[in-house]
Structure 1
Amino acid sequence: MAKMTRTGSASPPDGGWGWMIVAGCFLVTICTRAVTRCISIFFVEFQTYFAQDYAQTAWIHSIVDCVTMLCAPLGSVVSNHLSCQAGIMLGGLLASTGFILASFATSLKHLYLTVGVLTGLGFALCYSPAIAMVGKYFSKRKALAYGIAMSGSGIGTFILAPVVQLLIEQFSWRGALLILGGFVLNLCVCGALMRPITLKEDHAGPENQGCGRQRADGARTPCYAPLAEERAQRGLRRALQREYRFLQEPDFAVLAVSVLFMAYGCSPLFVYLVPYALSVGVSHQQAAFLMSTLGVIDIVGNITFGWLTDRRCLKRYRSVCYLCAVGLDGLCYLCLPMLRTLPLLVPFSCTFGYFDGAYVTLIPVVTAEIVGTTSLSSALGVVYFLHAVPYLVSPPIAGWLVDTTGSYTAAFLLCGFSMIFSSLLLGFARFVKRMRRTQLQFLAKESDPKPQLWTNGLVAYSVARELDQKDGEPVATAVPGRNFT
């Protein structure tokens, strides 16, 4: 293969090929997150065909979401050490293979391994590297770029939800999975768009430039192999320490805990919205319409919140906008058990979809504000890794609650309170940080008072020096070049 060229830039270009990166990330979110959401449309089909309960069937969606997020750091490692292009293309091949093999499934365990593990691993190699590339190409318009890129999840859900339902009716669930396997091969095309860029802060330090350098005559300086290996290992350790030093920051720790509770609450809705709608008397097509509505309003949330938080008046309050969006989604959950007709479920889908798109857009932005651009890929890998366990356990727990109580109320209330707690935790941490900062500023002023000067004509009297005099006589400080009168 021809050696890949890297685009050099002292700072993010905020345009140019960056818009192609946004387009590529947009397609990646369609092929990963939108397809994952549409797996819930197969829920009733799988449950009926394999004669299993809610909890067992919910593991399919849980495993694919969990593996996608659990292996997100692996996606970052592949993109950092090989290339973003290679990682996304490999992920597309794995995801497509998983769907194709799933179309021949004879049990739920088969679906766990194919759709869950294999497809989830492919999505993991694609998702976080594509998002990190957008952060490298944009700085001033970062939120808007992320809003457009992440809107692929909503647009994909809006288009794919009725299409998948139609495919199931025409070709059965096996044929629909086979067609989805061909569709996600478009991830290979998305990977080809991800042209690498080298920013000023990405250049390697001097410790990596000593051995084997090229001389002016074209030859390379020899180096002793064990010494070179030791230096390489030491350089690798230092690079990893620099790359993951954000793990020691208190702000990132609070964000990580908040993400755990947020991820627990957001996942079950995309599994149980269609079954819940069917349980209250909504038809299959109308239930798919609810998913489409949620998806299209998700787009509005992605783009409008991205554009609004790029405005000068809101740029400083992106974290506040994020926690407000998460909290409002939690409130929507609390109201859902009282909504039992299609005219009431449609406004719910609109509201939940809007704020879901809002906070999904702001996750990379808030992470970048904490860790910076250089470590963004690794930090996003960790953030999405933290989604893994909640994504794995929350749908089966919700399914167990439905099987036990015979109602969706307990499951939805638990998810709502989890998201509200996530928002309150992050808000409380910001409040404490601001109070501590104010207190430290006040103590700094108290411990280091500056002497106040009064000027009377051409003579300046220093109060601090006056108090230091034993005899109490004021001391006049002469201004150079002036005579005292």
Structure 2
Amino acid sequence: MEEWIKCRWGWVVCGASFFIHVGMYSLAYSFSLLFVDIQRDLNATAVETGWIGSVIWGVQMFSSPLETFLESCFTHRPALILVIIVASAAIFVSSFAQSVQQLFVTLGAIYGLALGTTWFIMLGVIVQYYPAKNTVRAISFATLGGSTATLVCSTPVNMSVEAFGWRRTLQFIGAFTLLLSLPPAVLMFPPKDKVYESSRRDFEDNNEAISGSTSDIRIHQQKVCTSRETNLHQIDRDMREDDKSKVDRGDVTTPKTTATRIERWKKVICVDACLYSIFTVTCAMLWAVFFINIISYYESVGITSHQGAMLLTITATFEMVTKVTLVVIGERFPFKKTYLLLIKVIGMIGLSLAMVVATTFPQFVVLSCVTGILRAAFNVLLYPCSIETLGQSCSDEVITLTSISRGIGFLTGTIPAGAIYDKFGSYRVSFLIVATTSLVSALSLSMVLLRQKLVRRRSEVSTGPRQCNESKKNLYLRVSTETSV
């Protein structure tokens, strides 16, 4: 039974990551429900209040160096526990803030960094268990916790804000984050920790086994030494054979020096990378409005806070269903996944224009369904499409570039929308700008696809005559050989 659990501990880690996601993202996904109360209580502008949420979503994209530093000081599990405690403390302390600037630090910077660090730590542990097989399924299952957080927290958070205000609600969310995320974090053993504990248990069993007579001790020591020597010889022989096979295949890996990293970045930075970065930044900018300013927009058009919470729940439901669907059939499309991303961006143009003219609750219900579908497509497809577009040989650099672009978009996305609302008292112009931003995204991604298609055609044209000449040459040699025979 113990061996069976050990072999499947990776799925325990995925389940723990799911619940950690629910707890840690409970505030990030429900911040829009606190938007209006924070703005009124602190007498802040829409730009200032919206930028709190932008910092939360933007800063977490830049938290990878912090995760690397914590892993160098601790192992995964202590680092994760520490970050969860810091995040819940930051949420709790934010309830005593007297200005928006204080919330920039506590909620935006500290909680945002903790949120991103938590994700990178969990991702590192999951990838250790599933480096090649079931990776997408494991990560998708873990990230479903974010959508579940919206489903679970939207209505309770809205009721708490109406009954107790945003300060007491933040205290509740801080306690919820700690109580739900901390116990699963104890289960986040990397594979090497499980091996260590297994070895320690074997060592203790050996100590019990040799606690008998002196002769038994000598016999046991001889067996242990013999088996250890045999294992060492076997390991050494396997390593030599493995090294020899790598040399024969030419698959010898070298450590990443600074020069190799620079060369890899030079390979990544190209016209396609710049266009894809523009696409990512603009997409993140428009999604920042939907993540952060949406409840404020609902209130400006006459939607009540209770109805707004229902709309968020509907969005999260369709987002979850779409994520599961993409996990199941995402690899079965007969075309590149980047085309799905292009369809999603074109859909965002229509969605933004529809948000301008929508006035009734049933209309917003339909738009919330569409929002959930498109948001799931963006979250699931962005990174796979970046690797598909820019190449898999430098996947680490591609993911880093995409994360930085996404963070910049979230940091700047709410500023135009908030400024327009502060000046005109309406978000309709903001959604017209969102539609324009979506058009820029669509054009950028279309140019990437068009450039790659032209490059493929040129390569086919250039290799066509060469292949024809080679086939003629082979035919001539074969005829000459047959004639001579």
Residues in 2 aligned to 1:422 and 1:24: alpha-carbon distance in whole angstroms: 36
- How far off is 1:276 after superposition? 1.6
Q: Is the 8 A contact 1:32 1:127 kept in 2?
A: no
Residues in 2 aligned to 1:245 and 1:30: alpha-carbon distance in whole angstroms: 38
Q: Is the 8 A contact 1:31 1:184 kept in 2?
A: yes
- Equivalent residue in structure 2 for 1:330, among 344, 349, 360: 349
How many residue pairs get matched?
Answer: 418
Amino acid at match of 1:42: L
Residues in 2 aligned to 1:424 and 1:125: alpha-carbon distance in whole angstroms: 33
Residues in 1 aligned to 2:73 and 2:385: alpha-carbon distance in whole angstroms: 25
- How far off is 1:370 after superposition? 5.9
Gaps of 5+ in 2: 1-6, 193-231, 234-254
TM, length-normalised to structure 1: 0.76
2:94 aligns with 102
1:283 aligns with 304
- How far off is 1:264 after superposition? 0.8
Q: Is the 8 A contact 2:35 2:292 kept in 1?
A: yes
1:125-172 Cα distance to aligned partner (Å, 9 max, x none): 112343455455164554444443332222211211111112223332
Residues in 1 aligned to 2:261 and 2:54: alpha-carbon distance in whole angstroms: 31
Q: Is the 8 A contact 2:24 2:84 kept in 1?
A: no
Residue 272 (1) aligns with residue 300 (2): no
Residues in 2 aligned to 1:413 and 1:85: alpha-carbon distance in whole angstroms: 46
- Equivalent residue in structure 2 for 1:416, among 430, 435, 451: 435
1:171 aligns with 164
Residue aligned with 2:331, SS = coil
Report matched runs for 1:256-271 at 5 Å.
256-271=277-292
Q: Is the 8 A contact 2:268 2:394 kept in 1?
A: no
Residue 160 (1) aligns with residue 153 (2): yes
2:216 aligns with none
Tell which deviates more after alignment, 379-388 or 238-247. 238-247
Tell which deviates more after alignment, 424-433 or 109-118. 424-433
Percent same amino acid among aligned pairs?
20
- How far off is 1:299 after superposition? 0.6
Residues in 1 aligned to 2:266 and 2:15: alpha-carbon distance in whole angstroms: 31
Q: 1:124 to 1:375 in 2, by over 3 A?
A: farther
Amino acid at match of 1:308: I
Residue aligned with 1:105, SS = coil
1:358-405 Cα distance to aligned partner (Å, 9 max, x none): 220122333454678897566544422322222122212211111222
- Equivalent residue in structure 1 for 2:104, among 112, 118, 134: 112
TM, length-normalised to structure 2: 0.76
Report matched runs for 1:63-462 at 5 Å.
63-75=55-67, 78-79=70-71, 83-131=75-123, 133-134=125-126, 137=130, 139=132, 141-185=134-178, 186-196=180-190, 237=258, 247-248=268-269, 252-311=273-332, 313-314=333-334, 317-369=336-388, 379-450=398-469
Residue 59 (1) aligns with residue 43 (2): no
Residue 30 (1) aligns with residue 19 (2): no
Amino acid at match of 2:383: P
Residue aligned with 2:96, SS = coil
Q: 1:365 to 1:18 in 2, by over 3 A?
A: farther
CA-atom RMSD, angstroms?
3.4
2:240 aligns with none
Residue aligned with 2:426, SS = coil
Q: 1:367 to 1:191 in 2, by over 3 A?
A: farther
Q: Is the 8 A contact 1:339 1:345 kept in 2?
A: yes
Tell which deviates more after alignment, 240-249 or 86-95. 240-249
Q: Is the 8 A contact 2:338 2:389 kept in 1?
A: no
Tell which deviates more after alignment, 291-300 or 87-96. 87-96
